[in-house]
Amino acid sequence: MNIKSVKKMVMPEDGTTETNTLKVTDTNDKVYFVPKVNANLDYQDVLEWVAAGNTIEEAD
Amino acid sequence: MSQTKVEAPFVEKVHHFKNLIQNGGMQIWQRGTSATTIPDGVVSTVDRWVMSEGTDGSATSEYDLLSDADRATTGHSYALELNCTGADTSIAAGDRSYIYHSIEAQNCQHLKWGSSAAENLCLSFWVKSNLTGNFSVSMRQEDNTTYYLPLSYTINSANTWEQKVIQISPTAGSTSLITSSNGVINNDNGRGLMIFFGLVWGSNYTGSYSGTPTWTSTADHADSDITFTNFYSSTSNNLYITGVQLEVGNQATEFEHVPHHVELQRCQRYYQQIPHTAATTWQAYPLWGVNANVMSTRLQLPVVMRAAPTGAFVGTRNTDFKAYYNGGYQTLTAESVADTTDDAVRFDMNSSGAFAANAAGGLYINTTDGRITLTAEI
C-alpha cells in the first residue's frame, strides 16, 4: 500500500473514544479502513510509514 | 449384507487437504475475472495469488476458461492467464515481476521444518505459454531467519499445456539452514512459506548457484547461471498456469480437487466482499441510528478471517450505496468501516443531520458496482 495519509477514527457514539481502526488514504486517493492489528499486513505498512518519519493525524 | 474389507494401505494413503496451496486450480475469482493490469504487490484477480509488476513494461492477469480439450489434458477448468501488454527488453537490476502464493504458518507445522525430520516437498503445476525456455520458481521461508530457494522449470513446447514437477528438499544444495532451529516455521497466522512464479528477475534478485537449487539467506529468487526467458520481451507473450499443488513427499500425486464451496470458504478467510455476488440487484442491511448524523450496522462474517480485515467501500456514494431512512434515501456525506474483528465488522454511514438516534433504517448496496471489501491477505 502506497500511503498518502493516515488519520485516527473515533466512535460516533461519543465522538471521543478512539476506534481500533485507522483511515488510510493511498496515493490514488482510495480510502481504506485498517485495523490496528499486527497480523494485518496493511497495518504493518502503516507502521513502516510512521517509522519513515510520517505522522498519523488526529481524528476529525 | 456383504461387507468389503478396506485394506489399511489404501486408507493410510488418503490425505485430505494434502495440497498446501489454496485455490491452486484457479477456480475462485471473488474480485472479478476480467483483464486487470498487474499492480505492485496486491491480489488483482484470482483469489490467494498476489501479482507484482515492477518493470518498464506492463502486464495483465485474467481468468481463462479452458476448452474441453485442454480440460481433458489438465483436469482443470480454469487457469490464471497472464499477458504482456508493455514490453521491456532491457531488464534493469532492480526490475522484477512475479506472482506468489503465501501459506499460513500454522498450516505448515506438519512439515517439521526447523528439525532434522524436516519433510521434503513436491511442487507440481500445469503451464502453457507462447514462449519456451527456462522460467523461475522460488520458495521463501518467512519465519525466524528468512531463507530463499531459487528453482527453475523449462517450457519445452510453445502453446502446449505441460505439467511440471519440482522436488524441494529442506537440505537443497547440501545446506542445513532449514533443518536448523532457524528454519522453524512459527505456529501462528503469519506467513509460513511463499511460492513465487517469476516472470522476470533483475540481477538484484539473482545469485550464482551453478544450476543447483540451494537454500540461501540472500534474497535470491533465480540462479544467475541459468538463462531465463523474459516474459516482457514482446506484447505477444502470454503464460497460463493452473493445477498448482505443493505436497509432502518426493512424488507429485493426483491434484486434490476441493469442492467449489469449500475452496470459496477457504479463500474467504483472506478476502470477502459484501454483498458477495454481483447480480444487478440491490442488497439491504439494517441500520441503527446512533445519532442525527450516523447510522450503523454490525455484521457477523460468514467465515472467520485470518486477522481483523482492512475494509474499503467500492462504488460511488449515494449511487452505488445509499442509506434509507424516514421514507426515503438520505444524502450520505461519508462512510467508514470500524471496530473490525476477525469475525465481524461495523459500518458507519454519515449524513448531515438526516438521521435520528435509535431509529431504524437500511443500507442499500447496488450489487453490480457497489460492495464493501474486507481483506486479510497474507
Judging contacts by C-beta atoms under 8 Å, the chain B residues touching residue A40 are 307-310, 376
Measured in degrees and rounded to the nearest 5, phi and psi for residue B355 equal -105, -175
- In tens, the pLDDT along A1-25 reads 889 999 999 988 888 899 999 999 9
pLDDT of residue B8: 56
Interface test mutation site (partner A, options B102, B290, B340, max chain A beta carbons within 10 A): B340
pLDDT of residue B376: 97
**Do A13 and B340 count as a contact with CB atoms less than 8 A apart?**
no
User: Complex ipTM above 0.90?
Assistant: yes
Q: What is the pLDDT along chain B (378 residues), one digit of tens a residue?
A: 566 665 555 555 567 899 999 999 999 999 988 888 887 767 678 999 999 999 999 999 999 999 999 999 999 999 999 999 999 999 999 999 999 999 999 999 999 999 999 999 999 999 999 999 999 999 999 888 999 999 999 999 999 999 999 999 999 999 999 999 999 999 999 999 999 999 999 999 999 999 999 999 999 999 999 999 999 999 999 999 999 999 999 999 999 999 999 999 999 999 999 988 766 678 889 999 999 999 999 999 999 999 999 999 999 999 999 999 999 999 999 999 998 999 999 999 999 999 999 999 999 998 788 999 999 999
Q: Whole-structure pTM over 0.90, yes or no?
A: yes
**Do A12 and B308 count as a contact with CB atoms less than 8 A apart?**
no
**Do B377 and A32 count as a contact with CB atoms less than 8 A apart?**
no
User: Domain map of chain B by residue range?
Assistant: 36-268, 272-375
B190 touches chain A (CB under 8 A): yes
Better pLDDT: B173 or A60:
B173
**Do A37 and B307 count as a contact with CB atoms less than 8 A apart?**
yes
Please give the share of chain A, as a percent, with pLDDT higher than 90: 82
pLDDT of residue B13: 57
A23 touches chain B (CB under 8 A): yes
B337 touches chain A (CB under 8 A): yes
Residue of chain A minimizing CA distance to B357:
A13
Would you say domain B36-268 falls under CATH 2.60.120.260? yes
pLDDT of residue B3: 67
**Do A21 and B338 count as a contact with CB atoms less than 8 A apart?**
yes
